[in-house]
Amino acid sequence: MRRSRTTSLKLSTAAATLALLTSGIAFAAPASATTATATPAPARAWPEQCKSDGVNSRQVDLPGTRPTTWITGKNCVQLHQPQAPAWVSGRTAIDWDTMEEPITDRSKRFTSFKVTTRLESRPSQTGTDTVQSSRTCDFTANLNADFSGMNLYCYALPVDNPVDTILWWSTDATIVYDLEGDTQGPITWELEGSPQQV
């Protein structure tokens, strides 16, 4: 949908209600994206746009005999429009698996594993990104508890997409992890962002 330009962007006045789930983090839509009637209008949403699996993957070699771990991150962005104004959500999904069987060393593997997801906008397709919201999720306990897992989600706070603005939206993320016992300190991993959605 094409809209006239303005220079102002705002975070939703009631951005989101966040709740921890066993598989990650979930969110509710901004207050401005819901109706006050008992029978809200049917939701309209653009398809979610995600960076394809395998683009943001790496092999993590752990010290000693602890199993090598394959980790994948996937950034996704989506426009939603139950009614004007539209709103936007962004998430990062984390999957992981061990590359060695049988597992002989089950000791602690990660001192820290944190994902920071950023929901970003541009005034044009080739413009400069502006971070509209972000959230850091600590998945250290999840990766230490299981040798494989899927769909740990880190959601940035949803934001309004003003009806009088043309914006190109995307989701980006940074992972910072620290391996137990490797003495190298934290490692920063910048994931490739999602495709843009306008």
Query: What local confidence, expressed as pLDDT, does residue 55 receive?
Result: 87
101-128 average pLDDT score:
94
Stretch (H or E) spanning 178: strand 168-179
118, 131 contact by CB (below 8 A): yes
Q: Is the pLDDT of residue 117 over 60?
A: yes
Q: What is the mean pLDDT of residues 165-179?
A: 94
Greater confidence (9 vs 163) lies with 163
Residue 3 has a pLDDT of 37
Q: Annotate 49-75 with b (16+ C-beta within 10 A) or e (fewer).
A: bbbeeeebeeebebeeebbebebbbbb
Query: What is the predicted pLDDT for the residue at 155?
Result: 98
Radius of gyration of the chain (CA): 19
Query: Of 52-66, 104-118, 147-161, which gets the smallest average pLDDT?
Result: 52-66
Tell me how crowded residue 150 is: count the other CB atoms within 10 A of its CB: 12
pLDDT value, residue 29:
40
Average pLDDT, the chain: 80
Looking at residue 84, the DSSP 8-state letter turns out to be S
What pTM, to 2 d.p., does this model score? 0.76
Query: What's the pLDDT score for residue 178?
Result: 98
72 has pLDDT over 90 = yes
pLDDT one-digit tens code per residue, 128-161 = 999 999 999 999 999 999 999 999 999 999 999 8
Higher per-residue confidence, 165 vs 59: 59
Nearest CA-CA partner of 92 in 78, 73, 79: 73
Give residue 165's pLDDT band: very low, low, confident or very high (50, 70, 90): confident
Question: In this predicted structure, what is the pLDDT of residue 25?
Answer: 42
pLDDT band at 7 (very low <50, low <70, confident <90, very high): very low
